Amino acid sequence: MFATLLPLSLATSAVKAAPAVPSAPWLLSPEERHRREEIAAADRKRMMEILGVTEAKNLPPEESDPKRPTGTVRPPNNPHGWTDAAGNFVVRSSWGNWINYDLAKTDVGPLPNPLVLKNGKPVTTATTWWQERRPEIVEDFAREIYGRIPANTPKITWEILETDPHALDGRATLKRIVGHIDNSRHPTATPSIQITLHLPANATGPVPVLVAIGGFGPPPGFPVPKGPTALDLVLAHGWGYATFAPYAVQSDSGAGLTEGIIGLVNEGQPRKPDDWGALAAWSWGLSRVIDYLETEPAVDAKRLGVQGHSRFGKTALVAAALDPRWAIAYASCSGEGGAKLHRHNYGESVDIVAWTGEYHWMAGNFLKYGGRWNDLPVDQHELIALVAPRPIFVTGGTQDLWPDPVGMFQACVAAGPVYRLLGRADLGTTEMPEPDRELISGDIGFRLHTGGHTDLPDWPAFLQFADKYFGSQTHT
């Protein structure tokens, strides 16, 4: 159910303050981080007890574990972790599984077939896909992976906090918008929808808008990219660029599951096993962004795209799969829980996302699959298939092995049959492309950039890909 749109307040020249947003995890003090980790650990333990899930017992010390990957050492700056000879982060999960970076040991189990019904009958028509198979897959993802988005989400009142017709030295018009979420059922939870919208100043009609998730810059230790930003590139392309603040909707911690929109809907009570996690909550917030953009005369609401990087790449993919109003999606370095196959045991794994630091992204039921990812009823090629027939662009980096670029590419390949069934084009190849050579001839796009954990190198290729659907309006 979409949130109710209530009248906008009148914009004024005064700049109003947006509601407070929970800090990104890396900005918390060590004391606050530790406090929240303890709360999250207790909540995760409670959920595992409900599910009857247990972790490995009597594991050998990591130093003497015969399963520890060859050549791993304790780095001086991380006494609790390991590093392999290539400098990749290695860790043992609580189920006893070590992170793997050897493609020969990925041990991919049989993938669920997106074109076979649960009763074993093949899906040979688009009608069967839309009426029978797609709902089966949506249900599996809702129950076991991301959690169910409630039908009784609160009403939203929109307010324009700031307008600037001469932003960015006259290149753009700016609006800052907040959606006030009715929290009368649980007043201690104060989520909101916060949007910053830039539209090209010289637009002569409604323009496409790309909505980027986040926008608060890289974490400490990550270099600030040089050159044009995504905002610069998109505005120069003649399109609008909006940022969405995910932490204003739901904090990025298991300690926040009784807060934010999840806590508000649950009236402060802990989650049930199939309740939504943060990825679904953020995707719900993104659907509310569409609700607002549909009221903007300067926006072409039929040409909206969603983009995210890392955990927000996961979010972008979930959002596009669940809301067909997203006309295109760009999922950058999204890894486990995003475009990466669960069954491709490489880099970030199911075990990692089921740990204390990330379990809150998912439904509680996801914890059942720690150490046994081949038992999952779905895999991520089917999430990509839920986007079909709309276009999707997936990227990774040559030096960013944690999100598993190969596993993401394989998921794109495996989603191809659904695109073909619906009359669209797949990747066009089953061979991993060379770095910096984009695959954008079909409706599934893929690019492996030279470098690490970043989305910026792939923006030009994404804009070229999106041109096929939105049409370029490049400004010179």
Name the band, by pLDDT with cuts 50, 70 and 90, for residue 299. Answer: very high
Tell whether the model's pLDDT for residue 349 goes beyond 50.
yes
Query: pLDDT tens digit string along 366-423?
Result: 999 999 999 999 999 999 999 999 999 999 999 999 999 999 999 999 999 999 999 9
Q: What value does the mean pLDDT take over residues 67-86?
A: 90
Name the band, by pLDDT with cuts 50, 70 and 90, for residue 470. Answer: very high
**pLDDT attached to residue 219:** 58
Tell whether the model's pLDDT for residue 447 goes beyond 60.
yes
Tell whether the model's pLDDT for residue 6 goes beyond 80.
no
The pTM of this model reads: 0.94
Q: What value does the mean pLDDT take over residues 325-351?
A: 98
**pLDDT attached to residue 403:** 98
Strand partners, 215: none
Order across the sheet with 444-449: list the strands.
5-6, 156-166, 172-181, 192-200, 240-244, 207-213, 299-309, 328-332, 392-397, 444-449
Residue 103 CA to residue 371 CA, distance in Å, equals: 19
Please say whether the beta carbons of 287 and 325 come within 8 A: yes
Tell whether the model's pLDDT for residue 11 goes beyond 60.
no
**pLDDT attached to residue 82:** 96
**pLDDT attached to residue 221:** 62
Strands 82-83 and 89-90: antiparallel
Query: pLDDT tens digit string along 275-292?
Result: 999 999 999 999 999 999
Residue 148 CA to residue 111 CA, distance in Å, equals: 23
Higher pLDDT, 428 or 80: 428
Name the band, by pLDDT with cuts 50, 70 and 90, for residue 28. Answer: confident
**pLDDT attached to residue 122:** 99
| Percent of the chain scoring above 70 in pLDDT | 93
Q: Give the side-chain half-sphere CA count within 13 A for 281.
A: 33
Most confident of 6-15, 218-227, 335-344: 335-344
**pLDDT attached to residue 163:** 98
**pLDDT attached to residue 152:** 93
Name the band, by pLDDT with cuts 50, 70 and 90, for residue 80. Answer: confident
Strands 156-166 and 172-181: antiparallel
Tell me the domains of the chain and their CATH numbers: 5-24+142-470 (3.40.50.1820)
Degrees (nearest 5) of the Cα angle 161, 162, 166?
165
Residue 302 CA to residue 311 CA, distance in Å, equals: 26
The count of residues in the chain is 476
Tell whether the model's pLDDT for residue 296 goes beyond 60.
yes
Q: What value does the mean pLDDT take over residues 21-33?
A: 80
**pLDDT attached to residue 83:** 95
Query: pLDDT tens digit string along 225-270?
Result: 678 999 999 999 999 999 999 999 999 999 999 999 999 999 999 9
Tell whether the model's pLDDT for residue 21 goes beyond 80.
no
Q: What value does the mean pLDDT take over residues 185-195?
A: 98
| Percent of the chain scoring above 90 in pLDDT | 87
Q: How many CB atoms lie within 10 A of CB 93?
A: 19
Cα 406 from chain centroid (whole Å): 18
**pLDDT attached to residue 223:** 65
Q: What value does the mean pLDDT take over residues 160-183?
A: 98
Average pLDDT, the chain: 94
Name the band, by pLDDT with cuts 50, 70 and 90, for residue 22. Answer: confident
**pLDDT attached to residue 13:** 40
Tell whether the model's pLDDT for residue 162 goes beyond 90.
yes
Query: pLDDT tens digit string along 60-75?
Result: 999 999 999 999 999 8
Higher pLDDT, 436 or 216: 436
Assigned token pair, 460: 């030009």
**pLDDT attached to residue 12:** 38
**pLDDT attached to residue 472:** 66
Q: How many CB atoms lie within 10 A of CB 392?
A: 28
Q: What value does the mean pLDDT take over residues 307-336?
A: 99
**pLDDT attached to residue 77:** 80
